[in-house]
Amino acid sequence: MSDHISQPSGSRIQRPLFDPVAQPWVLSDTRRGPVPEDCLNPDFIRTVLGRNIETTVEELPREVLATGWEHRREPVPAAVLVPVVMRQEGLTVLLTQRTAHLSAHAGQVSFPGGRMEPTDRDPVDTALRETHEETGLAQDYVDVVGRLPQYFTGTGFSITPVTALVRPEFELMPDTFEVAEVFEVPLSFLVNPSNYRVHQVALPNGMRRQYFSLVWDKFFIWGATAAMLRNMYHVLVQGLSETRRL
């Protein structure tokens, strides 16, 4: 999810004001180092991500972000699923790439998810419903673990990332109108801070924006999705430090 929330069908395609791939970047802060691969197991994930996590662990300065949500009285609530797949060869995170014809954020990489509907009981209900609608992932394979820090987008949404462990026997049936591809990234790659870049861009209105990105295989992951993955890294590396002190 890169600031993606479903837009009405038939809307005019909206292109970014800048090319996110082409902007200057520097490596992100790597002082805390990666989470060791031998720690990346379901028990560790359940222990750390199952705790009450209320605050954003790392946030770029708000004054450099695109304006939008702070001008609304209340952000629009939304939720995404952060599905950690328990592959025998190692844990992965499932992501989607949006189709190129969509009116907003066409072709971008996202978590499955979207805005909360009145019939949803809570963000977990939203994340599971949207994930099934977008990818066909049945809830029987999904074991919800917890929630990452809430994330506010420049387009006015308050996103709750719901973390889950997923049994790998699932079969997917993506919504081909909205989802071009479903793929998985090794969790070990996502919890290595040396894989994160920080970009800066000058917008036409004089504002400056910063954002995280990662490159995995042919996929460029940026914006809200990269920021939430970065937050997950911080939560896990902090959990590792606390576990080692016990």
Q: What is the mean pLDDT of the chain?
A: 85
Helix ranges (H only) for 54-116 are none
Q: Are 2 and 80 in contact (CB under 8 A)?
A: no
User: How much is the pLDDT for 5?
Assistant: 53
Q: Which of 41-50, 54-63, 203-212 has the highest mean pLDDT?
A: 41-50
β-pair type (109-110, 90-98): antiparallel
Count of CB atoms within 10 A of residue 229's CB? Answer: 25
Task: State whether the Cα torsion 82-144-160-133 is positive or negative.
Answer: positive
The CA–CA distances, whole Å, from 191 to 7, 87, 92, 173, 176 equal 31, 17, 11, 28, 30
- Is the pLDDT higher at 10 or at 120? 120
User: How much is the pLDDT for 230?
Assistant: 94
Angle between helix 223-245 and 42-49 (nearest 10): 100
- 215 forms bridges with which residues in the sheet? 220
Q: How far apart are the C-alpha atoms of 222 and 97, rounded to whole Å? A: 12
Q: Would you kindly state where each structural domain of the chain is located, as residue ranges?
A: 28-245
Q: Note the pLDDT tens digit of each residue in 13-44.
A: 455 677 889 899 999 999 999 999 999 999 99
Q: Note the pLDDT tens digit of each residue in 139-178.
A: 999 999 999 988 988 778 899 999 999 999 999 999 988 8
Mean pLDDT of 191-197: 97
Question: Residue 208 pLDDT > 90, yes or no?
Answer: no
Q: Note the pLDDT tens digit of each residue in 52-70.
A: 886 665 655 443 333 333 4
Q: How confident is the model at residue 189 (pLDDT cuts 50, 70, 90)?
A: very high
Question: Residue 10 pLDDT > 80, yes or no?
Answer: no
Helix ranges (H only) for 86-180 are 123-135
Helix ranges (H only) for 10-101 are 42-49
3-state secondary structure of 126: helix
3-state secondary structure of 174: coil
Question: Residue 81 pLDDT > 70, yes or no?
Answer: yes
User: What CATH number has the domain spanning 28-245?
Assistant: 3.90.79.10
What is the percentage of the chain residues whose pLDDT exceeds 70? 81
The CA–CA distances, whole Å, from 62 to 53, 81, 156 equal 21, 24, 13
Q: Which two tokens stand for residue 245?
A: 């002190």
Q: How far apart are the C-alpha atoms of 159 and 75, rounded to whole Å? A: 9
